[in-house]
């Protein structure tokens, strides 16, 4: 499942508020900062105080979502870095797992609002890729029915409750809609 939408900072905070108050999802960094471990976030304030939810490229702020109902577990993988290209840092971590739900927030850059995204593998897609990667664990460890139910609930909230209009299949949330009326392009 993939779903793309446009959201400003206030819209993103509403999505995060829904996740923390109305779901049992755990929110993790997709990638850690250089030289640090993965963080798990438990409140909207933890995220809003750490990240710039206004500005950035297409995937300015990225998370992995998981709940014990999905059965499989998130895997935290150390990635070795070349310090010549990473300001002297030698490692960072990523959060991996076939059944994790990705939440990517796009930001404002050059008078354009980049799209945001939720998505995840389905079971057949994961099975096709299972032999080519070892760091996502086993596909059969996950409850794919629960993963789909969770992602549908999240998509429903964004697309049917928070979006004020649509451009094709893209939901336009209220803050993003206001930005467009002020001359910001939706990208």
Does residue 16 surpass a pLDDT of 90?
A: yes
- pLDDT tens digits along 75-125: 999 999 999 999 999 999 999 999 999 999 999 999 999 999 999 999 999
Q: Residue 130's Cα: distance from chain center in Å? A: 22
What is the number of other CB atoms lying within 10 angstroms of the CB of residue 8? 22
Does residue 135 surpass a pLDDT of 90?
A: no
Q: Which H/E stretch holds residue 175? A: helix 174-181
Q: Distance between the two ends of the chain, CA-based, in angstroms?
A: 20
What is the structure's pLDDT at 134?
A: 78
- pLDDT tens digits along 139-166: 999 999 999 999 999 999 999 999 999 9
Mean pLDDT of the chain: 97
Q: Residue 139's Cα: distance from chain center in Å? A: 20
Q: Are 147 and 70 in contact (CB under 8 A)?
A: yes
Maximum alpha-carbon separation in the chain: 48
3-state SS, residue 39? coil
What is the structure's pLDDT at 172?
A: 98
Which residues sit opposite 157 in a β-bridge?
Answer: none
- pLDDT tens digits along 42-80: 999 999 999 999 999 999 999 999 999 999 999 999 999
Does residue 133 surpass a pLDDT of 90?
A: no
CA–CA distance, 28 with 26 (Å, rounded to integer): 7
What is the structure's pLDDT at 124?
A: 96
Does residue 29 surpass a pLDDT of 90?
A: yes
- Closest Cα partner for 64 from 31, 100, 116, 18? 100
What is the structure's pLDDT at 97?
A: 96
Token duo for residue 36: 């640090």
Question: What would the mean pLDDT of 123-136 be, rounded to a whole number?
Answer: 91
Tell me the Cα Rg of the chain.
Answer: 17
- CB within 8 A of 64, min separation 6: which ones? 27, 28, 29, 30, 74, 95, 96, 97, 100, 101, 102, 103
CA–CA distance, 89 with 73 (Å, rounded to integer): 28
CA–CA distance, 81 with 2 (Å, rounded to integer): 30
């Amino acid at each position: 499942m993939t779903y793309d939408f446009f959201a400003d900072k206030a819209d993103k905070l509403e999505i995060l508020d829904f996740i923390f108050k109305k779901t049992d999802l755990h929110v993790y960094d997709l990638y850690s900062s250089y030289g640090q471990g993965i963080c798990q976030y438990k409140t909207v304030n933890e995220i809003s105080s750490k990240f710039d939810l206004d500005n950035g490229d297409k995937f300015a702020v990225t998370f992995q979502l998981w709940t014990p109902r999905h059965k499989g577990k998130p895997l935290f993988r150390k990635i070795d870095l070349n310090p010549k290209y990473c300001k002297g840092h030698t490692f960072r971590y990523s959060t991996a797992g076939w059944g994790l739900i990705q939440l990517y927030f796009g930001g404002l850059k050059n008078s354009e609002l980049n799209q945001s995204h939720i998505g995840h593998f389905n079971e057949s897609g994961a099975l096709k890729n299972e032999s080519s990667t070892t760091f996502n664990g086993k596909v059969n460890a996950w409850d794919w029915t629960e993963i789909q139910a969770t992602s549908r609930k999240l998509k429903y909230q964004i697309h049917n409750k928070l979006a004020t209009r649509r451009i094709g299949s893209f939901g336009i949330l209220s803050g993003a809609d206001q930005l467009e009326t002020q001359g910001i392009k939706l990208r």
